[in-house]
Amino acid sequence: MPAETFEFQVEARQLLQLMIHSVYSNKDVFLRELVSNASDALDKLRLEKLRDDSLDADVSDLHIELDADKDARTLTVRDNGIGMSYDEVGQLIGTIAHSGTAQFLQELREAKEEAKEGAEEGLIGQFGVGFYSGFMVADAVTLVTRRAGESEGTRWTSRGEGTYTLEKVADAPQGTSVTLHLKPADPDNQLHDYTSPYKIREIVKRYSDFITWPIRMTPEGTGPDGEGSQDQDQDQGQEQAAPAPETLNSMKALWARSRDEVSEEEYHELYKHVGHDWRDPMETIRLQAEGTFEYQALLFLPAHAPFDLFNRDYRRGLQLYVRRVLIMEDCEALLPPYLRFVKGVVDAADLSLNVSREILQQDRHIDMIRRRLTKKVISTVKDMMAKNPDRYAAFWREFGTVLKEGLVTDPENRDALLAVASFGSTHHDSEQTTLKQYLERMKDGQEDIYYLTGESRQSIENSPHMEAFRDRGIEVLLLTDPVDEVWADAVGTFEGKNLRSVAKGRIDLDAEDTEASEDEQKKQGEEYAGLLGWMTEQLGEDVKEVRLSSRLTVSPACVVSDADDLTPALENMYRAMGQ
Ligand code: ADP
Ligand code: MG
């Protein structure tokens, strides 16, 4: 079958353009990305073979191989992992499956227009444009792959300029090899020679040391400078003539090493690998449990929320290892859904290697781990709040909406979550307030915590419901996330104070005044009886009752719900969901 030419999907093409005209100052990271993919492919093959022993695949020597050719100016990253089928290559490499791509590209354009320093780099990181990063250093890329268990392989080639070719090949080895045809060497900058064993060694050490599979480099003959002949594995079984491949990484699991032995950078590199993110995490959390059920955990709070966090098919979960061996990617049972943005690794000592997801969901030990990890994440946020308010504020901006789901779904940690939550308020223009701070500012005699939900701060502030509160200088929380309605109802109280929507029920802001003027009220009632009756008649089915109120100061009228009715914002939300 001859090679067929295809066009990249529009978004993919745009990202490729960015790569080619590289927005990254540090091009070395392309190798980290390719090694990361190769490592994933080896993990996947091992897991698949574990599940299905009849899979026709060789798992006896899973590894990654780096092969540089100075004369041809190529660098090849090869793995003997799961590989890809013909269709998969087109799907996985030719398109960007990421949802939110349009939004991303829009933000990218805006960042460009405003010429924000570093903004592009930051944004592109959200996409984990892993494979494409090869085009930062190469003007053409060839990928040859064969899916484990299949007999035919596929060759993919591209110059990154809008099209790629696909062709079936008969003799591809199991796994994937990616060959970069490197851009011409910069004579002024030998540091960027990616065919140099020194350079390759350095990059692997820096970014991929913890990868659990051996990353080998076969020295290019034994050159005059003897490069590549140092630090070799002493493999006596090898023939004299063929230089033994050198293993570049230590393969040590970071979570199994003592804390002071691992640098922050190393933790960050692990995060980028497991989190498929290009940016550093906001927090690194280490956890160790000894005793009857031993485990270690390394968790990361990302610095930015991914675009698809609220999509149904968002891949959540941690990597689950048993004594340094990965047994499950995306293990959801280890964290509650509202902490789905947390990335990381759990390594448990006593679990069966082929435990299923279903069994894990009900496993008592896994349940224990989940509860402990959950508390640890919340307490980390609490520490951040106390010690680094700016970082906390940034965290809450990114993940507050998700965490608030926990107020509804996780009663066990509700109080702890309420303590680390913050909200918009009439007291501040842009800052957020905690409930505790709200309580401290409450007026004498104020019994309740007032809030109002709506689509935006502005729409809430313009609501007639706010008038009386504004006039009396009573603080109101301004809640703009759809989930706010739900938790505010579910939670009910904070430290003995009721949470009350200013849009619900009767609110007597000045109880004493009202009592004093009971007579007057009565009189008013009689005076307006005619009008109220007429309005009730006119509005008919649309309202339950028309009554006089002291809550307005400027607007003539407003719509109020019964205390236990849906508020207007929630009604809108349900309507939008088609209910
Ligand atoms: P990510 O790794 O974040 O998914 P990449 O752009 O790095 O994004 O890779 C895209 C996809 O291509 C991977 O998810 C994987 O399915 C496939 N892929 C890339 N490299 C390999 C490889 N060496 N072996 C098998 N599949 C690969
Ligand atoms: Mg990748």
Record the tokens describing residue 565, joined without a space. 């009715």
More confident residue, 570 or 427: 427
Residue 520 has pLDDT above 90, yes or no: no
Residue 91 has pLDDT above 90, yes or no: no
- Outline where 423-567 has alpha helix (H): 435-441, 457-461, 467-471, 482-491, 511-516, 518-539
Angle at 311 between CA 308 and CA 317, to 5 degrees: 75
Record the tokens describing residue 385, joined without a space. 């709040």
> How far does the centroid of ligand 1 lie from the alpha carbon of residue 206, in Å?
21
Mean pLDDT calculated for residue range 185-201: 83
Residue 519 has pLDDT above 80, yes or no: no
Other CB atoms within 10 Å distance of the CB of residue 315: 12
> How far does the centroid of ligand 2 lie from the alpha carbon of residue 127, in Å?
10
Q: Report strand pairing: 343-348 vs 295-301.
A: antiparallel
Mutation choice for ligand 1 from 92, 158, 273, CB with most ligand atoms inside 8 A = 92
Q: Looking at ligand 1, which atom is closest to the CA of residue 44?
A: 25
**Across all residues in the chain, what is the average pLDDT?**
84
Q: Please list the residues that pair with 433 across neighbouring strands.
A: 423
> How far does the centroid of ligand 2 lie from the alpha carbon of residue 190, in Å?
27
Please give the full DSSP string across 30-65, using - where no structure is assigned. HHHHHHHHHHHHHHHHHHHHHH-TT-----TT--EE
pLDDT of residue 568: 58
> How far does the centroid of ligand 2 lie from the alpha carbon of residue 359, in Å?
29
pLDDT of residue 227: 45
Other CB atoms within 10 Å distance of the CB of residue 49: 19
Rounded Cα gap, residues 240 and 65, in angstroms: 20
pLDDT of residue 49: 93
Q: 39-51: per-residue pLDDT in tens?
A: 999 999 999 998 8
More confident residue, 239 or 52: 52
Q: What is the ipTM of this complex?
A: 0.99
Q: 109-126: per-residue pLDDT in tens?
A: 676 666 655 556 555 555
Which residue's CA is minimally distant from atom 5 of ligand 1?
A: 130
Residue % of the chain over a pLDDT of 70: 81
Q: 5-33: per-residue pLDDT in tens?
A: 999 887 778 778 877 776 667 788 899 98
SS3 389: helix
pLDDT of residue 471: 87
Other CB atoms within 10 Å distance of the CB of residue 483: 20
Between 187-201, 334-348, 388-402, the lowest mean confidence (pLDDT) is in 187-201
Rounded Cα gap, residues 331 and 418, in angstroms: 27
pLDDT of residue 333: 94
Q: How confident is the model at residue 552 (pLDDT cuts 50, 70, 90)?
A: low
C-alpha distances out from residue 191 to 22, 28, 140, 290, Å: 17, 10, 21, 46
Mean pLDDT calculated for residue range 120-140: 75
Q: Report strand pairing: 477-479 vs 424-425.
A: antiparallel
pTM of this structure: 0.79
Rounded Cα gap, residues 16 and 453, in angstroms: 42
Residue 575 has pLDDT above 90, yes or no: no
Q: How confident is the model at residue 277 (pLDDT cuts 50, 70, 90)?
A: confident
Mean pLDDT calculated for residue range 256-267: 92
Q: Looking at ligand 1, which atom is closest to the CA of residue 129?
A: 6
* Residues flanking ion ligand 2, Cβ below 5 Å: 36-37, 130
Ligand 1 pocket, CB under 6 A: 33, 37-38, 41, 79, 81-84, 92-93, 128, 130-131, 176, 276
Residue 571 has pLDDT above 80, yes or no: no
Q: 318-363: per-residue pLDDT in tens?
A: 999 998 888 898 999 999 999 999 999 999 988 877 778 888 888 8
Choose among 42, 91, 32: nearest CA to 63: 42
Rounded Cα gap, residues 34 and 20, in angstroms: 16
pLDDT of residue 29: 85
Which residue's CA is minimally distant from atom 19 of ligand 1?
A: 37
Residues in Cβ contact with 549 at an 8 Å cutoff, skipping those fewer than 6 apart: 558, 560
pLDDT of residue 442: 92
Residue 190 has pLDDT above 80, yes or no: no
Task: Classify residue 386 by burial, with Cβ atoms within 10 Å: 0-12, 13-18, 19+.
Answer: exposed
Residue 69 has pLDDT above 70, yes or no: yes
Mutation choice for ligand 1 from 29, 39, 40, 150, CB with most ligand atoms inside 8 A = 40
Is 288 within 8 Å of 246 (Cβ atoms)? no
Residues in Cβ contact with 130 at an 8 Å cutoff, skipping those fewer than 6 apart: 33, 34, 36, 37, 276
Q: 222-251: per-residue pLDDT in tens?
A: 444 444 444 444 445 445 567 789 999 999
Mutation choice for ligand 1 from 131, 146, 158, CB with most ligand atoms inside 8 A = 131
Q: 288-320: per-residue pLDDT in tens?
A: 998 888 999 999 999 999 877 888 778 889 999
Q: How confident is the model at residue 173 (pLDDT cuts 50, 70, 90)?
A: very high
Please give the full DSSP string across 291-316, using - where no structure is assigned. SSS-EEEEEEE-SS--GGGGSTT---
Q: How confident is the model at residue 472 (pLDDT cuts 50, 70, 90)?
A: confident
Mean pLDDT calculated for residue range 182-204: 85
> How far does the centroid of ligand 1 lie from the alpha carbon of residue 129, in Å?
10
Which residue's CA is minimally distant from atom 27 of ligand 1?
A: 37
pLDDT of residue 232: 47
Rounded Cα gap, residues 278 and 421, in angstroms: 28
Q: How confident is the model at residue 533 (pLDDT cuts 50, 70, 90)?
A: confident
Point out the annotated binding site.
33, 37, 79, 84, 99-100, 126-131, 176, 357
